[in-house]
Amino acid sequence: MDISVLGPCRVTYQQMSVVPTAAKPRKVLALLALSPDRFVSVDCLMEELWEERQPRSAPTTLQTYILHLRNLIAAILREAPVPTGLDVKDILVTKPGGYLLNTGGGSVDVREYEARAAAGHRAMTAGDHAAAAVKFREALSLWRGRALVDVQTGPRLMAEARHLEESRLTLLGRRIEADLRLGRHHEILGELAGLCAEYPLDETFQAQHMAALCRVGRRGRALEVYAGLRLAMKRELGLEPSQAVARLQHTILSGAPGTDWEPAADAWRARPQLLPAG
């Protein structure tokens, strides 16, 4: 069973989809797909489906959705070559108090994304910025759109989708950091301009844009970026830019040669969730 959630929800066996068209069975499958090979409780599934307004028939209805998913899987098993003795209940497994989606060693895009991201982080720590940039790009290439874009998310799926998007933005920031350290200022200016327009309150992208502009001799434009960030933060949040970004602005104003921008030590682990403009 192959699983992809970094974009539309895709769960396939032998390249044949088992994703239902109905919204609530799709929710159930998406929640199981986010925890492949791990137990998901009935309580967790029912909270996702009905939040705090669970009808008396909720347990029975959930069982109906599970049966629907098993029927989809069974139909594919009848068409595809399968290992001898493999049964649908070996794939969508019933556990005491919940269920488990058994991938049988299939691919899971989140696992691959996290493995490539971890390799990039290790390379950055070792000072190998070229390798880090490659690994970060490989990880980001697995995204096919917003996580679970075709699923009507409840509270748990929404929280997971936001976590994944936060991770993507953090990794994108680290990849740009690696590119800056490699001197690729000209190459990433357009990308940074687009990210700053999409995330006008994101200090990481704004500061990286300022640093890149300085390094190509556009200090005036870098100061305009800071002024725009400051105005947006005061208007939307009632806050001033962080001390790190303010120091970068002072460095630019002073004409000093050093225009590197270093995020706080824990910035990549505690990045705030910032929504796109509009």
Residue at 75 is within a domain: yes
Asked whether the beta carbons of 47 and 156 are under 8 A apart, the reply is: yes
Which domain-ending residue is among 43, 68, 101?
A: 101
- As a whole number, mean pLDDT of residues 33-49 equals 96
> Is 132 in contact with 124 (CB distance < 8 Å)?
yes
**154 domain-assigned:** no
Amino acid code (one letter) for 232: A
Decide if 194 is inside a domain. Answer: yes
CATH number of residue 97's parent domain = 1.10.10.10
Higher-scoring residue by pLDDT: 254, 158: 158
Answer yes or no: is 126 within a domain: no
Query: What is the amino acid identity at position 221?
Result: R
Same domain membership, residue 97 and residue 6? yes
Whether the per-residue pLDDT at 200 is higher than 90: the answer is yes
Does residue 217 lie within any of the structural domains?
A: yes
Of the chain, the percentage scoring pLDDT greater than 90 comes to 81
Query: C-alpha distances in angstroms, 136 versus 114, 120, 161, 181?
Result: 10, 6, 20, 14
Range of the domain at 228: 184-278
Angle between helices 203-215 and 155-181 (to 10 degrees): 20
Separation in Å, CA 48 to CA 36, 70, 76, 134: 17, 20, 27, 37
Q: Is residue 33 helix, strand or coil?
A: helix
Give the model confidence (pLDDT) of 241-260 as tens digits: 999 999 999 988 887 655 55
Among the candidates 101, 132, 149, a domain finishes at 101
pLDDT of 8: 96
The terminus-to-terminus CA distance of the chain in angstroms comes to 38
Rounded to the nearest 10 degrees, the angle between the axes of helix 58-79 and helix 42-50 is 100
- 168-179 mean pLDDT: 96
CA separation for the pair 124, 74 (Å, rounded): 46
Q: What is the pLDDT of residues 213-228, one digit of tens each?
A: 998 989 999 999 999 9
Q: Is the pLDDT of residue 100 over 60?
A: yes
What CATH number should be reported for the domain holding residue 207? Answer: 1.25.40.10
Per-residue confidence (pLDDT) for residue 14, from 0 to 100? 86
Over residues 45-67, mean pLDDT: 94
d(CA 54, CA 74): 29
Where is average pLDDT lowest: 51-55, 198-202, 220-224? 51-55
Inform me whether the pLDDT recorded for 278 exceeds 70: no
Give the number of domains in the chain.
2
Rounded-to-integer distance, Cα 232 and Cα 201, Å: 7
Q: What is the pLDDT of residue 262?
A: 52
Q: Which of 230, 187, 172 lies closest to 222, judged by CA?
A: 230
